[in-house]
């Protein structure tokens, strides 16, 4: 079993970025949303050098032009669209650069979720399935994994929602391409916990 991609989101400190790079994380996320306690200033993100680790921006209310401008300014590899952006919006950003968020709990059935995923398949490089509802994130809430057990998702996808050392094994049973960690590996909002991060990577390494 290959290790899924590991994304750690909600970065606010350079030392946490360096820790993730040292631990072999694949993607690092920065939130561009003033309403979030993990909101990151563009100047900070632009100054972050991650080597081979991809930099992802999380966007909620920005226009497509604003997203593109911030991506260029900050050297971002991908845009995680967390505000329910439509298909045209994704086309403008570029399908190979879009991680589009979906909230399984908001759909009346697994089939309805799959139909929506299929509608976005052409315009997204990855999906991200999160707990809660549109615009939320970093709440610590978890998805009901059972919703995902009987559906097949063709596009590579990340699973998010309160993931940490205690829940990572259960999360893998849903078959995600990647895992997105945020509040579940923190000691406080925006402050990553080194012990939790190391434990998550250790568990994943054991399962390879």
Nearest to 168 by CA among 123, 136, 202, 139: 202
Nearest to 4 by CA among 191, 168, 184, 199: 168
Average pLDDT value for residue range 104-119:
93
* Contact (CB, 8 A) for 136 and 104: no
Per-residue model confidence (pLDDT) at position 19: 97
**Per-residue pLDDT tens over the stretch 74-97:** 999 999 999 999 999 999 999 999
Per-residue model confidence (pLDDT) at position 140: 58
Average pLDDT value for residue range 54-80:
98
Domain-wise residue ranges, the chain: 5-206
Contacts (Cβ under 8 Å, ≥6 apart) of 98: 78, 79, 81, 90, 123, 124, 125, 126
CA 129 to chain centre: 8
d(CA 100, CA 120): 8
Average pLDDT value for residue range 105-122:
94
d(CA 81, CA 127): 9
Q: How confident is the model at residue 172 (pLDDT cuts 50, 70, 90)?
A: very high
Per-residue model confidence (pLDDT) at position 137: 53
Per-residue model confidence (pLDDT) at position 2: 83
* Contact (CB, 8 A) for 164 and 182: no
In Å, how far are 115, 130, 150, 173, 175 from 118, measured between CA atoms? 5, 17, 16, 22, 18
Residue 192 phi, psi (nearest 5)? -80, 145
d(CA 96, CA 166): 32
Per-residue model confidence (pLDDT) at position 134: 66
At residue 79's C-alpha, the angle toward residues 76 and 83, to 5°, is 145
**DSSP element (H, E) containing 195:** helix 194-206
Nearest to 144 by CA among 92, 103, 87: 103
Neighbouring CB atoms inside 10 A of 175's CB total 14
pLDDT over 90 for what percent of the chain? Answer: 84
> Which residues does residue 56 pair with via DSSP β-bridges, in sequence order?
29, 78
The CATH number of domain 5-206, selected from 3.20.20.70, 3.30.9.10, 2.30.30.30, 3.65.10.10: 3.20.20.70
Residue 17 has pLDDT above 70, yes or no: yes
């Amino acid at each position: 079993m290959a290790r899924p991609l590991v994304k750690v989101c909600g970065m606010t400190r350079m030392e946490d970025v360096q820790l993730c790079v040292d631990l072999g994380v694949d993607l690092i996320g920065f939130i561009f949303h003033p309403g979030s306690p993990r909101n990151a200033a563009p100047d900070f993100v632009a100054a972050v050098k991650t080597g081979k680790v991809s930099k992802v921006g999380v966007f909620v209310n920005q226009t497509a032009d604003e997203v593109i401008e911030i991506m260029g300014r900050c050297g971002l590899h991908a845009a995680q669209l967390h505000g329910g952006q439509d298909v045209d919006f994704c086309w403008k950003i570029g399908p190979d650069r879009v991680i589009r968020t979906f909230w399984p709990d908001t759909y009346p059935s697994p089939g309805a979720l799959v139909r929506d995923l299929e509608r976005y398949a052409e315009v997204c490089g990855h999906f991200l399935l999160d707990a809660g509802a549109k615009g939320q994130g970093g709440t610590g809430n978890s998805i009901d994994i059972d919703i995902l057990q009987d559906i097949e998702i063709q596009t590579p996808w990340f699973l998010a929602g309160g993931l940490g050392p205690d829940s990572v094994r259960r999360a893998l049973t849903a078959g995600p391409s990647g895992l997105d960690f945020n509040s579940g590996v923190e000691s406080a909002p925006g402050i990553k916990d080194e012990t939790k991060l190391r434990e998550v990577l250790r568990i994943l390494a054991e399962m390879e």
